[in-house]
Amino acid sequence: MVTTNFKAIAVMVSSLLFTTFSSQLAAEDALQLDDMLVTAGLQPISINDVASSVTIITREEIEQRQVKYLSDLLRDVPGFAVSQAGGPGTQTQIRVRGAEANQLLVLIDGVRANDPASSDEFPYQYALTANIERIEIIRGPQSATWGSDAMAGVINIIRKKDVDSRYLSGNLEAGSFSTFSAGVDGGYSGESFRVTGGLAYFDSAGTNISRQGNEKDGARNTTANLDVEFDATDALVLRLSGQAVDATSEYDNIDFIGTGLPVDADRVTESQQSYLTAEARYGSSQRPVSGSFMINRLDSDNDNYSDGLWTSSTAAETLEVRLRGGWGFGNDDVKIHRINFALERRNVDFSQRGIPSFFGDPNQDQSYDVNGYALEYVGKPFTDFSWTLSGRLDDYSDFDNAKTWRLAGSYRLSPQLRLRSSIGTGFKAPTFTERYGFFEDFFIGNPDLKPESSQGWEIGVDTSWLENRNSLKLTYFNQDLRDEINGFVFDPDTFLFTAKNRDTDSKRQGIEAVFDARLGESWSLGASYTYTDATEKDAAGQSVREVRRPKHMASLVANYYFAAARGNLNLNLNYRGKQLDNFFSPLTFTLDRVEIPAYTVVDLAGSWRLTQALDLTARVSNLLDEKYEEILGFVRPGRAFYAGLRGRFNL
């Protein structure tokens, strides 16, 4: 491990020294304000200067795919392994570059949206694609910018706002499995204010997610959002925004007596989430000083039912106050250096309710608070070279503090060739379940429990040709997870359970290759391949593959406009190699790892413009009717057909 880290640091330092002595100072190549990536730092950074691996999903791509859930879009992202327990609305997890599911931070308009009531995972099963303008994805450790949960990367879901027109748009779709969806969104722009909002509805009877039986597990979802911006001055913008989700998901039980696999059962989860933000934002492209002050609130409530009767619930409330700012300096015309800072305060409350039983009393209320302090330098001292150095301290009330840092550099050798590299640390704070268990009577709290930590690095080469119409990006990544928390450690002295940090490391490394091509005015092609080697030590000290992390993943997206762009066809191919999953045998009472076969899923979507404002849409999901599972025993849906209308009307 020491040798690997030394090599990574040597690569970075060599890159810095090489660029220092091989380039001339060029003030005219300072930080540009076009194509900014708002997720990459404490303040927005030009996408050309970001050294991490980045994926951007645009509104155009969302409309081409026509999928209704965020998780279906993320299946094409390099390094993303999606595990879904059945059809739409069922529990969904995403592991990035071999990391755990709660080590990926999800933001909604820059506000953290991971749910403390669900082991700090983001509820992808309740996230619709309606009214999303853009999705920014940054892979690799980002805790120096965003704190806990950003160990493997960050997803920022950016909704439609900042409109400069008045419009109303909507869509209707119906199809297989008694599925119906509808949505409406709009925007109104005045001289000094903008209002945008949307309402989306999804309802499906679903499919049978177990291998046997015929009971269908459906889902319903209503999502609404509203955003109001007001220009107080030419440099000060005030914003109020909110999003509310009301969702119901049906699921099956596990047969703990016979097969150990899912079996038909009447199980339902009703979930509500709300996200509220008040923000004051200062700055413009002509001002060296910029910043924002935000107050954010997240509320989640998850109720579980069995055979129509309430059984348990979890809930969480998070209140965050955040101040971020920056000062750019350089020559008189442009900024070639920037110092950014962040001050944050977050209070998190958690509650669990249930019916006391032999296993104990599940009712509990817990909380903690954290103060975060971050500092970041972003510089572009000479032609085509930029670098970032950042550090952060998170001061927790109930457990050890976390210190993280990151160093990244990007150098464009020519208009067609760019080298980039980054190294940094990440951390994941203990979840409430890891600290207190499901039943306090059967769990011993561990006051010495530490946050999980990691150190990772990557090096990449980006190339382009044919006037930048084609591009190829190659990345090698390497990350070690330390102090991983085992929340189910048996204590032989008390016959209870506790949580402990593991003494051994988990190792993740691999390669990502991303190819994009624009084949004329009508054709576009995108392809990616990821090799991931994720291992951990077993009880005997041997390295074993981690579950739900395929070694090989690939995707292909082809899009074609025809008939003077009135028609559009989109073909999506997604391949996942074989992977392992855990299986508990009720016959032998042993935990084994079994193999889930590889699979390939093909989707096809098309649209035809009926009028200037109205489109006819159609899509086929799982075109080849592939039989596959992403979680052992949970069957994914077969072939399905959908058709609908969508339109946009300028007012």
Question: What burial letters (b/e) apply to 521-532, b meaning 16+ CB within 10 Å?
Answer: eeebbbbbbbbb
Residues in the chain, overall count = 651
506 pLDDT band (50/70/90 cuts)? very high
Beta-carbon count within 10 A of 41 CB = 28
- Rounded to an integer, the average pLDDT of 377-392 is 93
What the block records as the tokens of 432 is 């409430």
Residue with token string 């070639």: 336
Instruction: Identify the pLDDT of residue 5.
Output: 41
Confidence check: pLDDT of 231 > 90: yes
Residue 3 has pLDDT above 70, yes or no: no
Cα separation, 485 vs 167, in Å, equals 50
| Inter-residue contact 369 to 397 (CB < 8 Å) | yes
User: For residue range 422-477, what is the model confidence (pLDDT) as tens digits?
Assistant: 999 999 999 999 999 988 778 888 888 999 999 999 999 999 999 889 999 999 99
pLDDT score for 521: 87
Residue 174 identity (one-letter amino acid): A
Whether the pLDDT of residue 525 is over 70: the answer is: yes
**3-class SS at 4?**
helix
Q: What percent of the chain is predicted at pLDDT more than 70?
A: 93
pLDDT-derived band of residue 491, with 50, 70 and 90 as boundaries?
confident
At residue 100, what are phi and psi to the nearest 5 degrees? Answer: -75, 165
Cα 311 to the center of its chain, rounded Å: 30
Mean pLDDT of the chain: 91
State how far the Cα of 80 lies from the Cα of 93, in Å rounded to an integer.
10
Candidate from 72-86, 536-550, 637-651 with smallest mean pLDDT: 536-550
- CATH code where residue 58 lies: 2.40.170.20
Task: Name the one residue in this structure whose structure tokens are 């709660």.
Answer: 102
Tell whether the model's pLDDT for residue 24 goes beyond 80: no
- Closest among 173, 6, 190, 30 to 88, alpha carbons compared: 173
What span, in angstroms and rounded, lies between the C-alpha atoms of 222 and 247?
6
CA-closest candidate to residue 432, choices 114, 91, 112 = 114
User: Which residues contact residue 374 at a Cβ distance below 8 angstroms, ignoring those fewer than 6 apart?
Assistant: 42, 144, 145, 147, 341, 342, 344, 390, 391, 392, 393
In this predicted model, which residue has the larger pLDDT, 301 or 26? 301
Contacts of 628 (CB under 8 A, 6+ apart): 597, 599, 601, 635, 636
Instruction: Kindly report, residue by residue over 157-166, the tens digit of the pLDDT.
Output: 999 876 777 9
pLDDT at 232 over 60: yes
Asked if the model's pLDDT at residue 14 lies above 50, the reply is no
Q: How many CB atoms lie within 10 A of CB 359?
A: 11
- CA within 13 Å, CB half, 45: 29
- Strands 105-108 and 153-159, bridge-based pairing: parallel
Whether this model's pTM surpasses 0.85 = yes
pLDDT given for residue 57 in this prediction: 96
Q: Are 421 and 409 in contact (CB under 8 A)?
A: yes
Residues in CB range of 59: below 8 A, 6 or more apart = 132, 133, 134, 160
Task: Name the token pair of 178.
Answer: 């008694």
User: Region 20-29: what's the mean pLDDT?
Assistant: 32
**For 612, phi and psi rounded to 5 degrees?**
-60, -25
Q: Which amino acid is at 367?
A: S
Say which range, 88-102, 505-519, 583-597, has the weakest mean pLDDT: 583-597
Give the per-residue pLDDT at 335.
62
The H or E element containing residue 10 is: helix 2-22
Q: How confident is the model at residue 87 (pLDDT cuts 50, 70, 90)?
A: very high
The phi, psi pair for 70, rounded to 5°, reads -55, -40
Torsions phi, psi of 191, nearest 5?
-65, -35
Residue 331 confidence (pLDDT): 66
The pLDDT score that the predictor gives to residue 22 is 34
- DSSP 8-state secondary structure symbol assigned to residue 12: H
pLDDT digits (tens, 9 = 90+) for 283-342: 865 678 999 999 999 999 999 999 999 999 999 999 999 999 999 887 645 568 999 999
**DSSP letter at 126?**
G
- Decide if pLDDT at 91 tops 70: yes
Tokens 């950042």 found at: 390
Query: Rounded to 5 degrees, what angle do the CA atoms 385, 389, 394 make?
Result: 155
Q: Is 555 exposed, middle or buried (0-12, 13-18, 19+ CB in 10 A)?
A: buried
* Over residues 581-590, mean pLDDT: 89
Q: Which residues make Cβ contacts (< 8 Å) with residue 564, sequence separation at least 6?
A: none
Contacts of 605 (CB under 8 A, 6+ apart): 64, 65, 66, 569, 570, 572, 617, 618, 619, 620
**Side-chain half-sphere of 126: how many Cα atoms within 13 Å?**
27
pLDDT band with cut points at 50, 70 and 90 for residue 33: very low
**Closest by CA position to 393, among listed 416, 420, 371:** 371
Residue 191 CB partners (closer than 8 Å, separation 6+): none
What CA–CA distance (Å, rounded) separates 382 from 30? 8
Give the distance, in angstroms, between the CA of residue 602 and the centroid of all CA atoms in the same chain: 23
pLDDT category at 36 given cuts 50, 70, 90 is confident
Q: Domain range holding 130? A: 2-650
The total number of structural domains that make up the chain: 1
Query: Residue 2: pLDDT above 50?
Result: no
- From CA 633, how far away is CA 130, in angstroms rounded? 30
**Per-residue three-class SS string for 442-453:** HEECCCCCCCEE
Cα–Cα distance for residue pair 141/152, rounded to 1 Å: 5
Whole-number pLDDT of residue 6:
35
